[in-house]
Structure 1
């Protein structure tokens, strides 16, 4: 469990978490709250909700937070509610378009579960996912969080419609998050949190338009929670062309948003003394990605700011050499050519790693 020292560190970084009333600590024992923010995902949402209804575990509370959708989302939700079992507690909350983090916080404020899971409105749950996660987190000694492996692809996996039988889960742990925050996956959908951990971590940062999940994961890790891991793939991350937040990656405002998010993450890591090589590599790689985008759609000040961020992290000698060559190339050859060279280097390295 988080110590008073680590809790003070996180509260010092995020003053709003010191307001004890931001999220109630009262809950219904055994209840799992699934928080599902959605925005114009009517074509995909029905499969996500169907996978929720087919969960073998009960009781489940479903909090669908509609972030100002202008498509058929209300009709999709209503049709789904009419066909679900009465033992599902469903709340459909609507708000003006304010972003996924505002929607997640609203879901948390309305939740009553002892356990919390954040589900994206385009992804799919294994029929036994909630049951396996809940059994793992409750296994003595009770943990702060548990996560499963995940699959990804364009179409739902073969296990999607199946809710027959029981799935045997391989559960590791319990372990404690120590110096390496990367042990907790930044994909929130595969993680089940104890309510008390979400309350101590504080609300999702509503100022961030990019990499919100990474910032939240690093903040969770800064509390040094105990965790267990399920080896089986229980969560399906859908890859598709319909409006994902990744679309911002190719837009100018995504540059500023990325730099802002990474600076927040750096503050958490430094304050929590978690400058592990894997965490540094993650931040350095993301900074370099921002630099490449700024070379094409930003300006030189943003490129050099991203280079500086990557330099602060430099996880190893190979990355240091790559960064040094990128800076020299940018000065001599310009942004477009440097980006092509960096992309080519990444492609060759991935090919050699196969």
Structure 2
């Protein structure tokens, strides 16, 4: 058995956690109960003030855990990956879960596509009580969707190559809303991603999640910052340049939605006007319509 394990690529999963004691054990157990035999788990407590430290100290399963002063999810994951030894790396939010065959399935799929630098599966949405809500079928990978549409394709369960991470570098700790998008835009410059067409993870929605909470003005401007930094990258592949206006327009659209969802309606309109100036077709896009509906619904709830 030991010889078989050592021939498998080692996979490291980092779980960053901050005051998520209610869900943390589910996340840890979902990694420790993988059918894949060569998994390293690292949990980084980002200065939690709840029962998280006690849970980590008393968990019966073997894994590495560290504690740092509160510095944000990105800093926690960066720290965890620096302690890791896996050939493939990944992360799992402390309120999400992996399905038992997730890592085995993704590693097998990556072995069939050696040129791929990252693989991501479909996933399920669950509620705060772990009840199934729906299944999300992730889009097939294309540079057009990721860059021009400014669409974050990988969700929970994604794995990526350590060698590529060494080239790309850490998550940007200055970004709080979309550091993943910034990371994936840097990653795609080194090779393709692949979708694994099977639901292999659970994404949990609950009142404490930052995904659906209002954001500050600075955080709402992150999409524009990220796409500008991407197009200022030295040595950016020339094929990406044809999408610059469309990518900028979609970044402004997302920024406009985030401002509008957070109640800054005038700034939201200005961002969407900038999007229309760059790409007039964006006015009639599904994305624009869905964003406007989302802002309207959030404004109605606040009333």
TM-score tier after normalising by the smaller chain length = 0.7 to 0.9
- Counterpart of 1:40 in structure 2 is 19
Deviations 1:278-322 (A, max 9, x none): 85564243122134146548xx5x4566346534653625448x9
- Counterpart of 1:102 in structure 2 is 75
TM-score, structure 2 normalization: 0.77
- Counterpart of 2:4 in structure 1 is none
TM-score, structure 1 normalization: 0.67
Match of 2:10 among 17, 27, 31: 31
Q: Distance in 2 between matches of 1:313 and 1:150?
A: 34
| 1:241 maps to 2:215 | no
Match of 1:265 among 227, 232, 237: 227
Q: Aligned-residue CA RMSD in angstroms?
A: 3.5
| 1:230 maps to 2:170 | no
| Alpha carbons 2:24, 2:95 under 8 Å: kept | yes
> Alpha carbons of 1:255 and 1:75: their partners in 2 closer, same or farther (altered >3 Å)?
same
Gaps of 5+ in 1: 1-27, 159-172, 324-338, 348-354
Match of 2:253 among 285, 288, 303: 285
| Alpha carbons 2:48, 2:70 under 8 Å: kept | yes
Aligned length: 275
Q: Runs (4+) of structure 1 moved beyond 6 Å?
A: 339-342
- Counterpart of 1:326 in structure 2 is none
Q: Distance in 2 between matches of 1:295 and 1:220?
A: 33
Q: Distance in 1 between matches of 2:144 and 2:159?
A: 21
Q: Distance in 2 between matches of 1:312 and 1:117?
A: 38
Shift of the alpha carbon at 1:228?
Answer: 2.4
Say which is worse superposed, 282-291 or 208-217, in terms of deviation. Answer: 282-291
Q: Distance in 2 between matches of 1:34 and 1:342?
A: 34
Gaps of 5+ in 2: 1-6, 133-139
Shift of the alpha carbon at 1:233?
Answer: 0.5
| Alpha carbons 1:188, 1:213 under 8 Å: kept | no
Match of 2:176 among 205, 209, 222: 209
Q: Distance in 2 between matches of 1:315 and 1:204?
A: 33
Deviations 1:177-236 (A, max 9, x none): 544425984445231101111111211101112211122222222x14123221110011
Shift of the alpha carbon at 1:92?
Answer: 0.5
- Counterpart of 2:40 in structure 1 is 61
Q: Distance in 1 between matches of 2:277 and 2:85?
A: 42
Larger radius of gyration: 1
| Alpha carbons 2:223, 2:254 under 8 Å: kept | no
Match of 1:73 among 34, 52, 63: 52
Deviations 1:107-147 (A, max 9, x none): 11111100001111100101000001111112253531111
> Alpha carbons of 1:149 and 1:69: their partners in 2 closer, same or farther (altered >3 Å)?
same
Q: Distance in 2 between matches of 1:269 and 1:238?
A: 33
